[in-house]
Structure 1
């Protein structure tokens, strides 16, 4: 059984406070985009995970897809599976590729073995694998808060815009990004601003990670500047980086960025 996990971007990201448990509370809007991996589960004599495409650091059996299977296996008598993952979503890019992969494995297992898990039950499994994993169960735009694992429906639609994503050859550690950020409550909640026209988002809808990440990786800042120079209505780093996305009124080509970076058009 085969599925195609998609990436996401963050339309704004405010780190609002550090929690007593060491995590951070935040607010963001998760928005699905059309960059996809492929994941397959097939019957096997022993459960394993095989990864193809873009290399992922570490043992394949430490992958979130494998952990998703084991988590459900603890509660249900399901047979061994070989998990085949074709990795296309860039790693270390703030696009949630690993989170998407494991969430889609949860959905595949539910469908293949007719477990009849509800959306809420699948989200509960996904939350145990990572803060943003549960978003990919329903895979619709949401306003996310607390650790990024609590959701409210968000009526934001970018289908009428031409969207570009640039992934430089830089891997940003999420842990390092959090270590350098200074939590603070925004003057105006992203929940309110996201419903305004994207033409008003510049300098209002922000990503708190940019300040520290741009200092360490000025190339990422330059990409954002280049996107605005090319006529973008709005541009922002996604998650903790390193990818930067932009929305334009019309199709655009970015030859200067294409020379040294991976550019996706109309995501």
Structure 2
């Protein structure tokens, strides 16, 4: 079986407060995009998990989210057969695009079908939510207001779409490091529900005006290129630009195909990861 693992961007991300359990209370507008990894997964008679990938940067043992998800499913449902997985990576790591979580979500969906487990989306979320904080969102793959630690959803019904240019510096940002550097006394808090309203009404300018990310400032301290990319995107004519998640990938927004292609060509000369993408329409 082949399954696509779709990336996400954060159109808005607000770190609301620190929680007693050591995590942060979040409120975000998360959107699945067409950029994806491709995972091939098959059942084998020999017990165990075999994972390979085209990326030398990705571990293929118990440290990998795909491996952890497969292990959790096998333990819960007492699966005695094995599985063999190959992941063709296109989503970069430490980018704020949920590459690892997207892969984990794809694996549990594939195993659900292959082993006829009849898990609902809620069952899959419950089993994986502690493995990767973005896995629940990647299971649903729907435009949503996401809150809590990433497990609470208000789905947004909207046909809003535009062109996005993704540019990632070679240096990534670990989520933990970004959160640890956050100063809540001076943190910026984007208006999540203003963004939600703009998306519902397909108000392009409203979406551009409410782009915001609490984690952007601390991440720029680690990777100053984030700020440079944003500035250059706006100078090239993109209507808005923002870092996704905890970074370091930046996306630019435009309805103008000419600006999109000009931006792609410009950034491709300096950065290893440059992609054009759109929002993913709702699908299974």
TM-score when normalising by structure 1: 0.92
Counterpart mapping for 1:25-36 below 5 A: 25-36=25-36
* Superposition deviation, residue 202 in structure 1: 4.5
**Unaligned 5+ residue runs, structure 1?**
none
Pair 1:86–1:57, CA change in 2 (3 A): closer
* Superposition deviation, residue 186 in structure 1: 6.7
1:219 aligned residue (220, 225, 238): 225
Structure 1 partner of 2:246: 240
Structure 2 partner of 1:77: 78
- What is the number of equivalent residue pairs in this alignment? 266
Distance in 2 separating the partners of 1:4 and 1:35: 9
Distance in 1 separating the partners of 2:84 and 2:32: 27
2:95 is the alignment partner of 1:97: no
Does the Cα contact within 8 Å between 1:46 and 1:82 map onto a contact in 2?
A: no
Does the Cα contact within 8 Å between 1:37 and 1:86 map onto a contact in 2?
A: yes
Structure 2 partner of 1:40: 40
Does the Cα contact within 8 Å between 2:26 and 2:148 map onto a contact in 1?
A: yes
* Superposition deviation, residue 73 in structure 1: 1.5
1:168-226 CA distances to partner (integer Å, 9 max, x unpaired)?
A: 21111111101111236877740233322231345633101111111222111010111
Counterpart mapping for 1:52-201 below 5 A: 52-78=53-79, 79-159=81-161, 161-183=162-184, 189-196=191-198, 197-201=203-207
Q: Name which of structure 1's ranges 218-227 and 161-170 shifts more when overlaid on structure 2.
A: 161-170
Distance in 2 separating the partners of 1:188 and 1:174: 19
**Unaligned 5+ residue runs, structure 2?**
279-284
Structure 1 partner of 2:10: 10
Structure 2 partner of 1:206: 212
TM-score when normalising by structure 2: 0.87
| Secondary structure of the corresponding residue to residue 194 of structure 1 | helix
